[in-house]
A and B are shown apart, each in its own frame.
Chain A
């Protein structure tokens, strides 16, 4: 492989245009097939029995009555998913989360499952399963769980990352630290220091499609899994390992996916469906209800964060420090670690220190949610930055510009930045008309910055040229929001042909090499890199075939605008050969023409955004409306600008919901009280204004077209931008997300009482 991924400037002809996506027609006609839209002959209906307790010992499970019910074909418990994880602790946790083995660790934890001929029989069977629980004390609050006296969720967990191994087990699984310089020295140099504590509540990705799969295990050890997932290759690996199947014999096909946002990166129902199918000897469809999605999939962390920032009178930040506690659910994670890495990533800091603590709680296992962990850290940091600017008498944007990271800055989490977009997004915001628009009574404006790493990862792509000159592009990254359009554009660009001649599909696990999942904003970044590489490999073959057709040395052939050209005056009589001409002759020049690529897409360029938000707060009810919203973000290069705008708008809307309304509410009994869209209310159309976007393009030096990931950064600034806007509107600093009406009223009351 001699693929050169470095950026080189070029005039684009396809990239940057806005054609209709290839999968669009199926999606507006109802023909697109999602997780629950697929059926197999002889298929059974699977259902899962879930713990009603937040923390309980499972003393025994009696399934005999359920097994005797007519129409029931299989009943399984953890015994049917024997532990094959061989000391792999992370896989053991996935297994235990799929089906509780000794203890139920949260309200909704799966304890048994059935497969029956229809849904009604399956539901009846669940009622006949008798589980003998010994209810244990539980803890669902992140701060309470970190206390020494809190109920222990796992007595084998001793806090990692301390200088000495602690003598007692703890719900705090890990301590991590990042930073450089000396914060004590830095704070001593400061003229102003602001220190505050913040909390954010747990939220759910809220994808509209519940988890769904169809599993079919054959007696010969082969199996098929149809599933809505962000990463079918990862699902294959995990399911094969947990079920004891050979990976190559388990074919996983990713359905169309009805939203994921990080929530469809983990298996939980899939191993259960496979185990049911194996026991029943028939295909099993398993679809979660919305209640199950809320109680038993993977929401994000609840957090508790302390931030301290000091600055000189001239506005230079001298030191910044944060302590971040993130809930992980009942299994260890690295969520606070990511929060600690991202917290101060927007700034050029001489002295910075962040410490993260991962905390076990009796809630569902935390999963990624769009730039996971970053929005909460940004909320806390950007709130203090705003307050400090006020204290200094500086404009909030100017203060950030003065301290913004730039090329060559050593980031707060370690690496030195290349060319980055934080300064340019701030400059764009400074001159944006939104910043100068007048505000009315009870209205406030806020702004905030956000950072996300972006990820590259393992990627494999096939590009096949048909004899009619059209191109089939097979990619392995699941298309969550239009990547088949952007990757078709990239293939067309590199080959020099029209977009309409390329059709991209997402290949199943038996048809393409391994791909990491679509996470870390990597879908278009990494698969476009692999597509460019595959296209370049195909062009080598196309040139070789043209040379054969002309009977000239291949060194004399170049590729321009979709044609092979014979270089030099001596070939003046040779007309260029189009891709179509060469493809039509391929049967006689060596057979099919294809380009293949497998690579690790290193060099995902980091991403920055700055958001502006206007809100209006009703002082009588505490109700808040977002009345204007602007997103400015660096895309590196926007391959399909309309879908880039869509990513910006979607992330902002999710952030607005998180900031103002969404939260998991647990009762004293440890049960989730709002597991439905009525009580866990995500923003609806009438809640939001238009969301304006401005795309900046600061090329990523590590991608041939300069592309950066764009999917996640848009959810990082909103919590802080809205909190700053609300704080400016009501004159009270808001420190608890979501800023629901009762919290805003309480803050106003507290201020009045002084």
Chain B
């Protein structure tokens, strides 16, 4: 199979790559571009560990083809901090110990960022349903929800 040439924008940078037609965006990010922050927990869109934002929409990158990124803007965990300045969500996840093993953390941070951009003042229930597409097996979600609540308050005050 011939490769597909793709021009896209990842975390604000212009990126070009060749990928196979059946290759997922997750495979491209991880295996071709070295962006291993997005994780493959299932490969079937059930765990959310591979969450990225494409043109403002939260997606599982394992369910998007690499070729589909053509002409789009992709945001990954690697672009979440601004230089050495952590995003408030990243800082609050650290302060609240909202991670234990940390494998789900990039996906949760991306999903929470998307949630707060669309709803800056979510209730606990809105946070719980907003993050229901991301699986965490370590924390029981308690500290994740609290970290998102705290980050939302910080971001509103900023």
Name A residues whose Cβ lies closer than 8 Å to a Cβ of B.
Answer: 18, 20-21, 23-25, 27-34, 36-37, 119-120, 205-210, 256-261, 287, 289-290, 480-482, 642-643, 645-646, 649-650, 652-654, 676-678, 682-688, 690-691
The 5 tightest CB contacts between A and B, nearest first, are A30-B37, A258-B103, A653-B140, A27-B102, A677-B46
**Which B residue's beta carbon lies closest to that of A26?**
B102
Chain B: minimal CB distance from A732 (Å): 28
Determine whether B18 belongs to the interface, using a CB cutoff of 8 Å to chain A: no
Structural contact, A20 and B95, CB atoms closer than 8 A: yes
B93 contacts across to A, CB distance below 8 A: 24, 28
- With A28-B105, A29-B78, A676-B44 known to touch, is A685 a contact of B144 (CB < 8 Å)? yes
Knowing that A210-B41, A684-B135 touch, tell me 18 more A-B residue pairs with CB under 8 angstroms: A27-B102, A28-B93, A28-B102, A30-B36, A36-B30, A207-B103, A208-B41, A258-B102, A259-B103, A289-B43, A482-B100, A646-B97, A650-B140, A653-B139, A677-B46, A678-B46, A683-B141, A691-B140
A-B contact pairs, 7 of them (CB 8 A): A30-B38, A287-B40, A481-B138, A650-B138, A683-B141, A684-B134, A685-B131
A-B contact count (CB 8 A): 178
Structural contact, B136 and A208, CB atoms closer than 8 A: yes
B96 contacts across to A, CB distance below 8 A: 642
**Which A residue's beta carbon lies closest to that of B77?**
A30
Neighbour of B40 across the interface among A27, A210, A686, CB < 8 A: A210
**Which B residue's beta carbon lies closest to that of A642?**
B97
Q: How far is the CA of A61 from the CA of B101 in the complex (A)?
A: 40
B78 contacts across to A, CB distance below 8 A: 29-30
Interface of A is mostly: loop
**Which B residue's beta carbon lies closest to that of A285?**
B31
A260 contacts across to B, CB distance below 8 A: 101
Q: Mark B121-142, 1 if CB is under 8 A from A, else 0.
A: 0000101110111111111111
Structural contact, A690 and B142, CB atoms closer than 8 A: yes
Structural contact, B132 and A684, CB atoms closer than 8 A: yes
- With A650-B140, A652-B140, A690-B142 known to touch, is A209 a contact of B101 (CB < 8 Å)? yes
Structural contact, A677 and B100, CB atoms closer than 8 A: no
Contacting A at CB under 8 A, from B1-54, are: 20, 22, 27, 30, 35-44, 46-47, 49
Q: How far is the CA of A37 from the CA of B90 in the complex (A)?
A: 21
A261 contacts across to B, CB distance below 8 A: 137
Determine whether B106 belongs to the interface, using a CB cutoff of 8 Å to chain A: yes
Q: How far is the CA of A686 from the CA of B140 in the complex (A)?
A: 11
Neighbour of B99 across the interface among A27, A683, A687, CB < 8 A: A27
Determine whether B154 belongs to the interface, using a CB cutoff of 8 Å to chain A: no
- With A21-B97, A28-B99, A290-B42 known to touch, is A208 a contact of B135 (CB < 8 Å)? yes
Neighbour of A653 across the interface among B44, B125, B141, CB < 8 A: B141
Neighbour of B138 across the interface among A24, A120, A259, CB < 8 A: A259
Structural contact, A24 and B94, CB atoms closer than 8 A: yes
B80 contacts across to A, CB distance below 8 A: 29-30
Kindly name the residue among A27, A30, A481, A687 whose own CB sees the greatest number of chain B CB atoms within 10 A.
A30
Chain B: minimal CB distance from A115 (Å): 16
A28 contacts across to B, CB distance below 8 A: 86, 90, 93-94, 99, 102, 105-106, 109
